[in-house]
Amino acid sequence: MAKAQKSYSCQSCGAITSKWSGKCESCGEWNCIIEEVIQAAPKGLGGRTKGRQIEFVALSGENGKIYPRHKTGIQEFDRVTGGGLVPGSATLIGGDPGIGKSTLLLQAVCAMAKGGARCLYVSGEESVDQVRMRASRMHLADAPVELASATNVRDIVASVEGGGDKPVSILIIDSIQTMFIDSIDSAPGTVTQVRTSAQEIIRTAKAKGVAVIFVGHVTKDGQIAGPRVLEHMVDTVLYFEGDRSHQFRILRGVKNRFGPTDEIGVFEMAGAGLVEVANPSELFLSQRASDVAGSAVLAALEGTRPLLVEVQALVAPSSLAAPRRAVLGYDHNRLAMIAAVLETRSGISLSGHDIFLNIAGGIRIHEPAADLAVAAALISALSGNPLPAETVFFGEIGLAGEIRQVAQPDLRLKEAAKLGFGEGVVPALKNKNKGAKPPENIRICAVKHIHEIADMFAGGDVQKIRARSA
């Protein structure tokens, strides 16, 4: 029997080396190289053989051929996936433990099964009775979903290929870290097992036209555990985010070959499962106090959806040599940049103050359009003057203090006008946008530099604030 060989692969970029090292030379990540065991081919089978010629087809394909998607009826889930699951596609969904991944997929698969699709739910972490208990609690026990508790990939593939009276349409694998192939001498969850198991299931799913959804564990940094190449193998990568202290859950599309990326779906955790939120902006602003300093409303854009959230800031004098910068839901480095720009370009010093910044509702904001709202909230918190209750902010701040344009300002203003806001503080347009016009029932206040924000919302005495901050 041929002797097995050892190699070392990087979990981040997939690079393979002959020996272990603390740092990957390809991507520069530390502590990401793991040992793998490679089974050598038996003697007599390793000879070079002549390959067969590949048959190429035209790019145009068959005219008028339509590939219907599997829709769940859950509007927020279908929005993130681009209109439903494509037959033969592979989707990976990750999230923190207990965030609601299995609950969301059970609701989705039960909805598709009631629509006539044959759905298989394979759980490697729970028994069949445990899944039934959760379905009964969510009032989904009457859905014709076929359950199984298995971890052997060969058995799962044989069950899918075996067919039956009706071909399989949807396959749920919960989770990919529990699956294994018996021909590989390593434990489930290792790099080799995760990559090989996913590759075998994806190959079968694409050959049979089955839409497969993998549940993936995440590390302490929030990234999907296992080899990073797993995210390259699948067609769609979704992250289920949220704070356990809040009832809101965000389903975010990071990669999607069949739809837009950075799309989000908003859910609310309830006793009977996850309930979709049709108007998240109104829900995020429902508990906002309008007469408190340091509160600004941001008109954000997540994918194709405009979203209004509250940015809360608290600025307090610090007795520490290095003042604290506590941030929830926003980039810590970007907050430091905005504070430096305010001090250098506007004369408002924040270096001797503790800064606490929070995006209310447990949502995370990644786009640079939040810079203007963060700056306005910091100025308001330092001066003690509340911002106007019916004003929204969006715009990117450059290092020179200039306010830069952001994408789709008309869509953001329409969402603000729909919720009753009457004024928008936005970047000044250098080039007129011919196709987009702001709503008529909202006033536009265009700004070009960050010092204009300080002059507008410092209560008419910006010099006193600058002297106090110094």
Residue 43 binned pLDDT confidence (cut-offs 50, 70, 90): low
Bridge partners, residue 226, by sequence: none
Round to whole Å and give the CA distance between 104 and 172: 12
Q: What is the C-alpha to C-alpha distance for residues 323 and 350, in angstroms, rounded to an integer?
A: 9
- Position with higher pLDDT, 455 vs 105: 105
Distances from the Cα of 374 to the Cαs of 161, 262, 333, 359, 390, in angstroms? Answer: 54, 21, 13, 10, 16
pLDDT in tens, 380-411: 999 888 999 899 999 999 999 999 999 999 99
**Contact (CB, 8 A) for 372 and 397:** yes
Distance CA 31, CA 22 (A): 5
Q: Domains of the chain by range and CATH?
A: 5-38 (no CATH), 75-277 (3.40.50.300), 282-469 (3.30.230.10)
pLDDT band at 284 (very low <50, low <70, confident <90, very high): confident
Asked if residues 103 and 77 have their Cβ atoms less than 8 Å apart, the reply is: no
Cα 444 from chain centroid (whole Å)? 32
- Identify the bridge partners of residue 444 per DSSP, sorted by sequence position: 424
Per the CB < 8 A criterion, the answer to whether 96 and 223 are in contact is no
Say what the pLDDT of residue 210 is: 95
SS3 assignment for 258-315: CCCCCCEEEEEEECCEEEECCCHHHHHCCCCCCCCCCEEEEEEEECCEEEEEEEEEEE
Residues 223-244 have a mean pLDDT of 84
As a whole number of angstroms, the distance between CA 131 and CA 153 comes to: 20
Per-residue confidence (pLDDT) for residue 464, from 0 to 100: 47
Q: Given a cut of 80, is residue 39 above it in pLDDT? A: no
Which residue in 418, 423, 412, 420 sits closest to 446, CA to CA? 423
Q: Which two tokens stand for residue 65?
A: 């051929």
At 443, give phi and psi (nearest 5°): -80, 145
Sign of CA dihedral 23, 27, 28, 31: negative
Position of tokens 């067919």?
Answer: 163
d(CA 287, CA 247): 14
Largest Cα span, the chain: 87
**Spatial CB neighbours of 208, under 8 Å, sequence gap ≥ 6:** 88, 160, 161, 167, 168
Three-state SS across 100-159?
A: CHHHHHHHHHHHHHHCCCCEEEEECCCCHHHHHHHHHHCCCCCCCCEEEECCEHHHHHHH
Quick check: 108 pLDDT over 90? yes
Mean pLDDT of 236-258: 87
- Using alpha carbons, select from 237, 193, 308 the residue that is nearest to residue 91: 237
Asked whether the beta carbons of 74 and 115 are under 8 A apart, the reply is no
Between 33 and 469, the more confident residue is 33
- The CA angle 104-110-112, to the nearest 5 degrees, is 105
pLDDT digits (tens, 9 = 90+) for 310-323: 999 999 998 888 89
H-state helical runs in 422-461? 450-456
Task: Say which amino acid occupies 3.
Answer: K
> Rounded to an integer, what distance in angstroms lies between the CA atom of residue 301 and that of residue 433?
18
- In 3-state terms, what secondary structure has residue 437? coil
DSSP bridge pairs for 216: 94
Q: Give, in degrees to the nearest 5, the angle at Cα 52 between 51 and 58.
A: 130
Q: What's the whole-number mean pLDDT along residues 435-462?
A: 77
Whether this prediction's pTM lies above 0.85 is answered by no
Q: Hey, what amino acid is at 260?
A: P
Segment among 14-18, 371-375, 419-423 with least mean pLDDT: 14-18
What pLDDT does 163 receive?
A: 66
pLDDT for position 455: 84
Distance CA 33, CA 61 (A): 43
pLDDT at 446: 92
Q: Which of 444, 285, 317, 312 is nearest to 386 (CA)?
A: 312
